Amino acid sequence: MSLSRSEEMHRLTENVYKTIMEQFNPSLRNFIAMGKNYEKALAGVTYAAKGYFDALVKMGELASESQGSKELGDVLFQMAEVHRQIQNQLEEMVAPSLGAYIRADLCFLS
């Protein structure tokens, strides 16, 4: 009788775990997919930010060549430098961490 009760408890426990995993995995898969999309969006933002930075530098160079707009050129160079620092921090801190988390989540699902 005890073995039968033990087997029944084991079966019930397995069913509970199975139900939890069936409900949890789709949400986790969706979370991972959204993380991948976020990572791709960050890559797009990085590409656009570099284009913006290059345009700022070019405008700064052009403005610096003229005596009347030299101050404007200096301001544009300062803006470009601040933007470059922010972009570098983003690339150094956020993007690698996000990629590592996504890879860890994928390993968990496998």
Distances (CA, A) of 61 to 26, 53, 98: 52, 12, 36
Query: Residue 2 domain-assigned?
Result: no
Query: Residue 57 domain-assigned?
Result: yes
Say what the pLDDT of residue 21 is: 75
Say what the pLDDT of residue 1 is: 47
pLDDT digits (tens, 9 = 90+) for 32-90: 788 888 888 888 888 888 898 888 888 888 888 888 888 888 888 888 889 888 888 87
Say what the pLDDT of residue 74 is: 87
Q: What is the DSSP string of 51-105?
A: HHHHHHHHHHHHHHHSSTTHHHHHHHHHHHHHHHHHHHHHHHHHHHHHHHHHHHH
Count of the separate structural domains present in the chain: 1
Query: Residue 16 domain-assigned?
Result: no
pLDDT at 20 over 80: no
Residue 67's domain comprises 33-109
Query: Residue 18 domain-assigned?
Result: no
Query: Residue 28 domain-assigned?
Result: no
Q: Which residues contact 100 (CB under 8 A, 6 or more apart)?
A: none
What's the CA gap between 36 and 47, in Å, rounded?
Answer: 17
pTM: 0.53
